């Protein structure tokens, strides 16, 4: 098991380039199943989750080539199997994304229950609802079996704005007969990326970026070249790192328009940034003071489906709040186990009251001290790294495999910004 050895108290300064969006790359790999022609994906992050997704694609009969870093050429002429391998399915939740494409191309998909981060209950009901409405039959048990002679367009109202549920429905609907109207659809930037890729393959999708998607089925999709957008979760993490350590950071290759919800939330903590083109600049000398609501009320930062504040940044902004003067309420409404990592921050010296599984009151600034930590999931692991970076003394963060599933070459990129970090096997 790998670990990071970190000596804190050093501002991070310099320039870093944003990686491609993991949550866009994964469904785009699955979408490559929808054609027998070559698909070239650019700006693919070199991380574990992407590698596992590519292993599944290869196991189904696909060819994967890597002509250069962050580029993959995919081709799958004839699908050899409609069953997802158990070993890969256990590693990532995104394995469920092969259900829609496999149904559309072969009329069958067999998937073991997907794995992924343990951050609370993560329903799959929305996937079943959408695919059933399109004409699939679903059997549950030790594996999920989807089957359909023919998929037909339908008017579907999703029971929740599930990102992966929306993506599965869209991938199934693009080759279905007739028109599908998908209401209460997720509209996150990675969902938009998937839809744009499908359009470049010949799909007909209207309403991209909204919560109502109209999909007119086509008889065939074609190959394409598509560039994955910047990972706004990673950009938000680097913004948090810069602010918490008192650094001065330029983030290249970002999509500033994707950071607007985060800018409102960070603004409540007295943290802001400027942008020019695709470069975001987080300057030093931030006020780092809570901006109270009208009447001097304690402000609240709460997550929500897009365009709300992204739930994956809740862990990041919680640790940043420990370095800010004032009190703020963090309300994580979507996952009941994501906030349980705060006991580690409290042990480091943070002043946090965990009110219940969803709410934490943070008062700062707190002087954190180094500690031994274990990363429970991708985002909480990154939050612990930020805490270690702004703490006094040395910290050890174990199980960094969880962090590296979502952050490309993290230790090297942080070291290039001045961080005192060593990766140890």
The CATH number that applies at residue 97 is 3.65.10.10
Residue 244 buriedness (CB in 10 A; 0-12 / 13-18 / 19+): buried
> pTM of this prediction?
0.93
Residue 98 shares a structural domain with residue 218: yes
Residue 291 shares a structural domain with residue 387: yes
Longest dimension (CA), the chain: 65
Residue 111 shares a structural domain with residue 149: yes
- Whether omega for the bond prior to residue 267 falls within 30 degrees of 0, making it cis, is no
Residue 222 shares a structural domain with residue 236: no
Q: What mean pLDDT value characterizes the chain?
A: 93
Q: Could you report the per-residue pLDDT of 285-320, keeping only the tens digit for each?
A: 999 999 999 999 999 999 999 999 999 999 999 999
Q: Which residue, of 227, 243, 268, is where some domain finishes?
A: 227
Task: Give the pLDDT confidence score for residue 115 in this predicted structure.
Answer: 58
Residue partners of 276: CB distance under 8 A and separation at least 6: none
Residue 201 shares a structural domain with residue 346: no
Task: Give the pLDDT confidence score for residue 139 in this predicted structure.
Answer: 87
Answer whether 352's CB lies under 8 Å from 345's CB.
yes
Catalytic residue selected from 49, 117, 231, 377: 117
Q: Tell me the mean pLDDT in the region 118-130.
A: 70
Starting from the edge strand earliest in sequence, which strands make up the sheet with 420-424, in order? Answer: 372-374, 394-398, 3-7, 420-424
Q: How many domains does the chain have?
A: 2
Q: Tell me the mean pLDDT in the region 63-80.
A: 94
**CA–CA dist 353, 342 (Å, integer):** 9
Query: CA 313, 342, 327, 6 torsion: positive or negative?
Result: negative
Name the more confident of 337 and 165: 165
Residue 203 shares a structural domain with residue 270: no
Answer whether 397's CB lies under 8 Å from 376's CB.
no
Residue 409 shares a structural domain with residue 282: yes
Strands, E assignment, 228-350 = 248-252, 274-276, 279-282, 300-302, 326-331
Q: What percent of the chain has pLDDT over 70?
A: 98
Whether the predicted pLDDT of 410 surpasses 70: yes
Starting from the edge strand earliest in sequence, which strands make up the sheet with 326-331, in order? Answer: 300-302, 326-331, 359-364, 351-356
pLDDT band at 333 (very low <50, low <70, confident <90, very high): confident
117 catalytically annotated? yes
Task: Give the pLDDT confidence score for residue 119 in this predicted structure.
Answer: 37
Whether the predicted pLDDT of 327 surpasses 80: yes
Nearest to 21 by CA among 233, 312, 260, 315: 233
Name the more confident of 93 and 389: 389
Q: Which domain holds residue 409?
A: 3-19+230-424
Residue 154 shares a structural domain with residue 245: no
pLDDT band at 42 (very low <50, low <70, confident <90, very high): very high
Name the more confident of 127 and 184: 184
Residue 253 shares a structural domain with residue 359: yes
């Amino acid at each position: 098991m790998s670990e990071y050895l970190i000596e804190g108290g050093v501002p991070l300064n310099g320039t870093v380039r944003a990686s491609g969006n993991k949550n866009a790359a994964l469904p785009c790999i699955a979408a490559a199943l929808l054609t027998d022609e070559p698909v070239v994906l650019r700006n693919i992050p070199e991380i574990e989750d992407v590698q596992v997704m590519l292993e599944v694609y290869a196991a189904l009969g696909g060819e994967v080539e890597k002509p250069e870093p962050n580029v993959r050429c995919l081709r799958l002429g004839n699908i050899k199997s409609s069953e997802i391998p158990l070993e890969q399915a256990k590693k990532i939740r995104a394995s469920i994304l092969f259900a829609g494409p496999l149904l559309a191309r072969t009329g069958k998909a067999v998937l073991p229950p997907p794995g992924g981060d343990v951050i609370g209950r993560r329903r799959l009901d929305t996937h079943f609802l959408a695919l059933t409405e399109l004409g699939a039959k679903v059997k549950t048990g030790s594996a999920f079996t989807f089957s359909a002679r023919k998929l037909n367009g339908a008017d579907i109202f999703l029971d929740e704005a599930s990102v992966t549920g929306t993506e599965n429905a869209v991938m199934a609907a693009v080759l279905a007969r007739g028109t599908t109207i998908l209401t209460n659809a997720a509209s996150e930037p990675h969902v938009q990326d998937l839809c744009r890729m499908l359009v470049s393959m010949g799909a007909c999708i209207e309403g991209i970026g909204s919560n109502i998607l109209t999909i007119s089925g086509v008889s065939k999709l074609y190959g394409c070249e598509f560039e994955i957008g910047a990972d706004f979760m990673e950009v938000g993490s680097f913004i948090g790192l810069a602010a918490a350590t008192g650094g001065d950071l330029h983030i290249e290759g970002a999509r500033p328009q994707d950071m607007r919800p985060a800018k409102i939330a960070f603004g409540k903590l007295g943290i802001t940034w400027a942008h020019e083109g695709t470069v975001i600049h987080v300057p030093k000398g931030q006020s780092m003071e809570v901006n109270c609501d009208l009447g001097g009320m304690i402000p609240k930062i709460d997550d929500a489906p897009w365009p709300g504040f992204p739930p994956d940044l809740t862990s990041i902004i919680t640790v940043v709040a420990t370095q800010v003067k004032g009190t703020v309420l963090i309300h994580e409404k979507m996952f009941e186990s994501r906030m349980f990592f705060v006991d580690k921050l409290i042990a480091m010296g943070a002043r946090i009251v965990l009110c219940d599984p969803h709410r934490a009151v943070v008062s700062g600034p707190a002087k954190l001290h180094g500690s031994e930590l274990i990363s429970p999931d991708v985002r909480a692991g990154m939050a612990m790294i930020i805490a270690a970076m702004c703490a006094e003394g040395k910290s050890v963060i174990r199980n960094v495999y969880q962090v590296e599933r979502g952050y490309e070459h993290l230790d090297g990129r942080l070291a290039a910004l001045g961080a005192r970090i060593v990766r140890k096997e």
